[in-house]
Amino acid sequence: MIYKKYRRLLILIFSGLLGLLSTITIPVRSHSLNLQALSNQSCSSASPCPQQNADAGALELARDGERRYNAGDLEAAAQLWQQAAESYEKIGDREGMTKSLINKSQALQDLGLYPKACKTLLQVFAIPNPNCSASQIEQLQKNLTQKPDSLTRTQAIGLQSLGDVLRRQGLLQKSQEILQLSLSSLPESPAKSAVLLSLGNTERALGNQIRDRWDYDLVTEIIDRKSVIDALAPYQKAFNYYQQAVNIASAPAIPKVQAQLNYFQLLRETQEWWNEQTNRRIASWKRFSEAKLIQRAQDFNSQLQSQLSQDAQTLQNQIPSQLATLTPNRAGIYAQINYAESLLHSNQTSEVESLLKNALQQARTLQDKRAETYALGYLGKFYRQQGELTQATQLTQQALMLSQEQNITGDAREITYLWQSQLGGLLRKQGNSKGAVAAYTAAFNTLQSLRSDLNANNQDVQFDFIQEVKPVYIELVDLLLKSNLSNEELNYLIVPNPNLNRQKAETKKAQDRLELARRVIESLQLAELDNFFQDPCSETTNVAVQIDNIDPSAAVIYPIVLPDRIEVILSLAGKPLQEVKIPIQESAVNETLDRLYDYLDNSSINNSARNIFSTSNPNPRELKENIETLLPIFAEVYNWLIKPFENQLNSNQIQNLVFVLNGRLQRVPIAALYDGQKYLIEKYSVALVPSLQLISPQKLQRQKLKVLAAGVSEQIKVQGEFFAALVNVPKELEQIKQTFPGSQKLLNQEFTAKTIQKNLQQNYPVVHLATHGLFSSNPQRNFIITGDGQSISIDELSNLLKETGTTVELLVLSACETATGDERAVLGLAGMAVRSGARSTLASLWPVGDTSTAVFMGEFYQHLKQPGTKQIEALRKAQLSLLESLKSNPTFPELKNLPPHPYYWAPYVLVGNWQ
């Protein structure tokens, strides 16, 4: 079912507790301000005010709005406050109208209708034809900054509400600026506490964005330096604002306790994150007996955990007494649920049941159905944790039914999917696998219906989104792959895709089960890519794409790491999907992949290939030991992904292997998988895709091929950092020019953003950039260096490529690298293609020598020029050329009996269309 209202988003996902419960700032002071201010007029029956009847009518509408709001009827509350605003406007009461509009915007925010909430708030400031565009927000900010004394207290509160809306739309910097303006416009008063709370929430979102985009090396450096200050730096402003909100003695109870709750939860989440990161590095250093590094990491973690635990305990001592003072209302109910969930998460369950039962009773007294479904659902979660599965199931079903009832008149999908997935987990735990599949499928369908909403309009939650919803996808895939459901049962599960190609009747059962699993994994890949860029960058084909429609000589391989096994799905043209199960624990898979990374590319490990090759005189003995250690690991991954399908690949004359990777597999150089005799690239061409649904399968038109080739060969300084000279870049560009005479060459000062933009108008299907650059989990840190000493971000480059209207078939990023150890960095390469309109990207996973890069690129373009040669084949032939050269002329005699080290030739990856 597709819902008509697309702007009600996952308010519940902003923070780790899945929740609105940690971030919602229901401005009760805003509602009470409205009614209190209106009721304090010096009017009586003996001395009536002018237009008293009109005032009374508007006041009654406002009070009805508050009653409806507190009962959870948000649509009705918004309508009543709109009517109140119109009534006040008719009688010329600007203040009454302003307060009613602010209240209306809060109800709209709670519904997830952020554009409408934003437009409503712009009416408060008399913005004509409000559309909440960036220019309107900018103009409003400029006007108010020039006249800060012109703001009334009510308008300052309106600014706070606007800051909340902007945060929920992902405009974090603008939210911060608007909230600062609100704070500076308020006199010293209790109202400041709520603004400080909102500022804390915005800084928390900014902190999440910063921390989650740190690459492996940066986190390792912080641990190695034992820098607690740097570890907490992303959240220090949030900590400070929350503490300031609490310290305002005259502040109302609600914003104060909400600040304490958010602070408490942020401390707990930060503890968990750093504990996981530190233990991961300790595990790596133990492999190499790095005693000093291990001790430093343990000292760092002990110091950090002690500090955070002490702060959390202080808050935990304060929160219960604060909760006890709250008046039973919507905000108070959510505060209790928030605290209960935080305690549940940290296995402190003694107070949880009474907190949730009290919240449930209050919700029923207020007839607040939304609050009631939350209280029921989290009670179900509590009983599940206690092992009382029957009671947990009953409560979860009640919560789900209540949320589904609200979907009839409104939209409670952001609640519904929570209880659908929780029910799935409970049914699975009780052995009801069919019921569990149905419940998880319902959650999956609900999330799919929300996908465009999340992309379009609630961007601050997206990074957390993938962390929170990924278990729904993985659990469903796990169950589907284990299931023996009939065709009829399967057909009722997932919203049907009318373009789904069905196989012959005799293979339909196996095909359907695997096809549904494949679709779920594809959906997860799309969600992760959208989430990476935090906007709807991936326009899918909206069909179930089959390899038959793209390349009959290719096989698509989907490795899925599950808790107790690896499942690998194989897609061959004209054949039903096939699967194999590798019985290995997820922890063992991750340990193997971490070992591979440690020996190959971990800069904190002395004997990693990266560090050995970076020295001026590599030690041949160390190189020999390194490759001898790596080969068995590459062989183990080969045995997982390729060996089970060797016969099928051979009998079907497969030439190209296309991998859809997730998690830590994304940083594996797949071409270097080893069968004991040969590398994978010696048998097949290899490419990566984020999803088949993003592939435009057209082949490169060789007769029109010309390249826009730009590069930087000189040492260059950008923002205080020196980038080494790439002395072979002129040779690299000249080779391209000779191979494709119609090409354009831009070297050093000729290579600027403007010259790229100008030349792109000449319709170059291939763009080659030979310069320093980086791709990481942080789109803002994805950049390339131009010859005028500037950097072009991924967004700027994408815009340059799109503005010309030219379709770039292939974007080659020579000398650029992906961030060390960054599992999501390959998404940067995929996203570069998707966002820019380029159909594929060729880049490297780690820095490659300048000389070998020039040789490799020359080989690549020579092969690409040949009629009928696909990009994937040209890449393979160029890599094989390096391999054969190294076999004939090994770097050291000690290596002559070993396969050439993958560090020389394996980092090059083709992401996207491989044709």
Residue type, 498: P
What is the predicted pLDDT for the residue at 177?
Answer: 94
Instruction: Note whether 601 and 668 are same-domain residues.
Output: yes
Instruction: Note whether 635 and 709 are same-domain residues.
Output: no
Q: Computed over its alpha carbons, how large is the radius of gyration of the chain?
A: 30
- Contact predicate 737/725, CB 8 Å: no
Q: Quick one: residue 106, left, alpha or beta (phi over 0 = left, psi -120 to 50 = alpha)?
A: alpha
Q: Residue 222: phi, psi to the nearest 5?
A: -65, -45
Cα(112)–Cα(109) distance, rounded to whole angstroms? 5
Instruction: Note whether 651 and 792 are same-domain residues.
Output: no
Q: 268-272, 542-546, 704-708: which has the highest mean pLDDT?
A: 268-272
Within-domain flag for 771: yes
Instruction: Note whether 538 and 509 are same-domain residues.
Output: yes
Within-domain flag for 826: yes
Within-domain flag for 82: no
- Contact predicate 223/297, CB 8 Å: yes
What is the predicted pLDDT for the residue at 171?
Answer: 85
- Contact predicate 595/588, CB 8 Å: no
Cα(295)–Cα(44) distance, rounded to whole angstroms? 75
Average pLDDT (242-255) is 92
Confidence of residue 47 (pLDDT cuts 50, 70, 90): very low
What own/partner pairs with CB < 8 Å and gap ≥ 24 does 860-864 have? 861/707, 861/735, 861/736, 861/739, 861/740, 862/739, 864/700, 864/702, 864/705
Between the alpha carbon of residue 281 and those of residues 275, 792, 797, the distances in Å are: 10, 33, 35
What is the predicted pLDDT for the residue at 531?
Answer: 62
Is residue 120 scored above 80 in pLDDT?
Answer: yes
Domain end call among 692, 719, 754 = 692
Average pLDDT (153-162) is 91
Q: Residue 751: phi, psi to the nearest 5?
A: -95, 100
Cα(22)–Cα(260) distance, rounded to whole angstroms? 10
DSSP label of 15: S
Report residue 143 as tokens: 């006007």
Is residue 28 scored above 50 in pLDDT?
Answer: no
Instruction: Note whether 667 and 736 are same-domain residues.
Output: no
Is residue 46 scored above 60 in pLDDT?
Answer: no
Between the alpha carbon of residue 758 and those of residues 751, 783, 801, the distances in Å are: 11, 20, 11
What is the predicted pLDDT for the residue at 69?
Answer: 86
Average pLDDT (19-47) is 30
Buried-exposed string 359-384: b where 16+ CB fall within 10 A, e elsewhere: bbebbeebebbbbbbbbbbbbbbbbb
What is the predicted pLDDT for the residue at 18?
Answer: 22
Instruction: Note whether 723 and 664 are same-domain residues.
Output: no
What is the predicted pLDDT for the residue at 845?
Answer: 85
Instruction: Note whether 726 and 755 are same-domain residues.
Output: yes
What is the predicted pLDDT for the residue at 532?
Answer: 61
CATH number of the domain to which 555 belongs: 3.30.420
What is the predicted pLDDT for the residue at 272?
Answer: 94
Q: Residue 909: phi, psi to the nearest 5?
A: -130, 140
What is the predicted pLDDT for the residue at 293?
Answer: 95
Beta strands 791-793 and 744-747 are: unpaired
**Domain of 661, in residue numbers:** 501-692
CATH number of the domain to which 764 belongs: 3.40.50.360
Confidence of residue 464 (pLDDT cuts 50, 70, 90): very low
| Mean per-residue pLDDT of the chain | 83
Lowest mean per-residue pLDDT among 17-26, 41-50, 217-226, 676-685: 17-26
- Contact predicate 810/704, CB 8 Å: no
Within-domain flag for 885: no
What is the predicted pLDDT for the residue at 242?
Answer: 97
Confidence of residue 836 (pLDDT cuts 50, 70, 90): low
Within-domain flag for 758: yes
**Which helix (H) or strand (E) element contains residue 795?**
helix 794-803
Residue type, 42: S
Instruction: Note whether 536 and 670 are same-domain residues.
Output: yes
Domain end call among 692, 719, 740 = 692
Confidence of residue 397 (pLDDT cuts 50, 70, 90): very high
Report residue 171 as tokens: 């405009």
Q: Residue 265: phi, psi to the nearest 5?
A: -70, -40
What is the predicted pLDDT for the residue at 683?
Answer: 97
- Contact predicate 416/446, CB 8 Å: yes
DSSP label of 679: B
Instruction: Note whether 524 and 669 are same-domain residues.
Output: yes
Beta strands 783-785 and 791-793 are: antiparallel
CA–centroid distance for 716 within its chain:
33
Is residue 734 scored above 80 in pLDDT?
Answer: yes
Within-domain flag for 662: yes
Within-domain flag for 736: yes
Total number of domains in the chain: 2
Strands (DSSP E) contained in 748-828 are 766-775, 783-785, 791-793, 810-818
Lowest mean per-residue pLDDT among 457-461, 474-478, 569-573: 457-461
Instruction: Note whether 711 and 854 are same-domain residues.
Output: yes
Instruction: Note whether 685 and 712 are same-domain residues.
Output: no
Instruction: Note whether 750 and 643 are same-domain residues.
Output: no
* Number of other residues whose CB lies within 10 A of the CB of residue 91: 15
Confidence of residue 774 (pLDDT cuts 50, 70, 90): confident
Q: pLDDT tens-digit profile of 659-717?
A: 998 888 988 999 999 999 999 999 999 999 887 766 665 666 666 789 999 999 999 88
Q: pLDDT tens-digit profile of 366-380?
A: 888 888 999 999 999
Average pLDDT (758-773) is 89
Report residue 609 as tokens: 């290939």
Within-domain flag for 827: yes
Q: pLDDT tens-digit profile of 796-829?
A: 877 777 776 677 888 898 887 776 666 666 666 6
What is the predicted pLDDT for the residue at 185?
Answer: 87
Strands (DSSP E) contained in 563-703 are 565-572, 578-582, 656-659, 685-688
Domain end call among 659, 674, 692 = 692
